[in-house]
């Protein structure tokens, strides 16, 4: 039986999500035994345009990125986005709040014309993404679990409930009671509430759940005499490319 061919590709981002895979050590050996990794710039020198599964890190921020992701989309049977930048646009979307030209001017000054920059977008704005390993970064084990599920023909189990549920399971004290704002009410779980567990508010690096309870978040803010504006800076850190779609009742 032929092993599925996997290509791992980096776009605009820090490369940390790919490093999460490389840091798996013993599990990495099992992965390479189960699949044929034909493209992985951070690990191997070989390059191939023959792959079944494409794993994508990073957001799309240049016309060259657009050409590359559309090329990959024509080849891969399955596309997996990994990390906040690929899944929601991530921190790179902060550029969009300024406007592309203003952001280029702020960073590059009179050399801004040299820069091939466009409005930042997540991967699924250009190609169909089949599965997401979210977070900044996701854990390497999350990525491996998705690949393992695909190999055996299972649908990967990807959480679609809020971080607050994980906090309750762990018995955490709500960080609001400690004077810290948090987006856990509307943010996608799967991280074992790692920020609230470290007494830090969730900033929704895994994105927002599909049907966020916006009213619950507003009620929580009202309880602590806070406004939506008080938490928008934290929300925009990873989600400036997208808006919550649910209307408040």
> What's the 3-state SS for the chain?
CCCCEEEEEECECCCHHHHHHHCCCHHHHHHHHHCEEEEECCCCCCCCCCCCEEEEECEECCHHHHHHHHHHHHHCCEEEEECHHHHHCHHHHHHHHHCHHHHHHHHHHHHHHHCCCCCCECHHHCCCCCEEECCCCCCHHHHHHHHHHHHCCCCCCCCCCEHHHHHHHHCCCCHHHHCCCCCCCCEECCCCCHHHHCCCCCCCCCCECCCCCHHHHHHHHHHCCCCHHHHHHHHHHHHCCCCCCCCCC
The pLDDT assigned to 244 comes to 42
In the chain, where the domains are located: 5-151, 163-239
User: Across the strands, what pairs with 8?
Assistant: 40, 55
pLDDT class of 243 with cuts at 50, 70, 90: low
State pLDDT tens for residues 104-132. 999 999 999 898 899 999 999 999 999 99
CATH code: domain 5-151 is: 3.40.50.700
The pLDDT assigned to 166 comes to 96
**Stated pTM of the model:** 0.90
pLDDT class of 246 with cuts at 50, 70, 90: very low
Q: Are 185 and 217 in contact (CB under 8 A)?
A: yes
The pLDDT assigned to 2 comes to 82
């Amino acid at each position: 039986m032929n092993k599925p061919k996997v290509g791992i590709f980096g776009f605009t981002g820090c490369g940390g999500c790919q490093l999460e895979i490389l840091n798996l050590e013993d599990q990495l050996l099992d992965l390479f035994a189960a699949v044929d990794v034909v493209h992985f710039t951070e690990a191997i020198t070989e390059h191939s345009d023959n792959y079944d599964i494409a794993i994508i890190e990073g957001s799309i921020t240049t016309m060259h990125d657009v050409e590359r992701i559309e090329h990959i989309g024509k080849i891969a049977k399955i596309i997996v986005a990994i990390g906040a930048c690929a899944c929601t646009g991530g921190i790179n979307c902060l550029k969009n709040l300024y406007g592309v030209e203003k952001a280029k001017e702020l960073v590059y000054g009179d050399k801004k014309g040299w820069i091939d920059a466009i409005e930042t977008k997540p991967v699924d704005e250009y190609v169909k993404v089949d599965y997401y390993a979210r977070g900044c970064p996701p854990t390497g084990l999350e990525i491996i679990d998705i690949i393992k599920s695909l190999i055996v023909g299972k649908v990967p189990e990807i959480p679609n409930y809020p971080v607050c549920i994980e906090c309750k399971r762990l018995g955490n004290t709500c960080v609001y009671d400690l004077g810290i704002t948090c987006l856990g009410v509307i943010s996608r779980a799967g991280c074992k509430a790692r920020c609230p567990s470290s007494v830090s508010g969730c900033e929704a690096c895994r994105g927002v759940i599909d049907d966020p309870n916006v009213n619950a978040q507003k009620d929580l803010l009202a309880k602590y005499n806070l406004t939506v504006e008080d938490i928008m800076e934290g929300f925009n850190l990873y989600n400036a490319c997208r808006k919550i779609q649910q209307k408040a009742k």
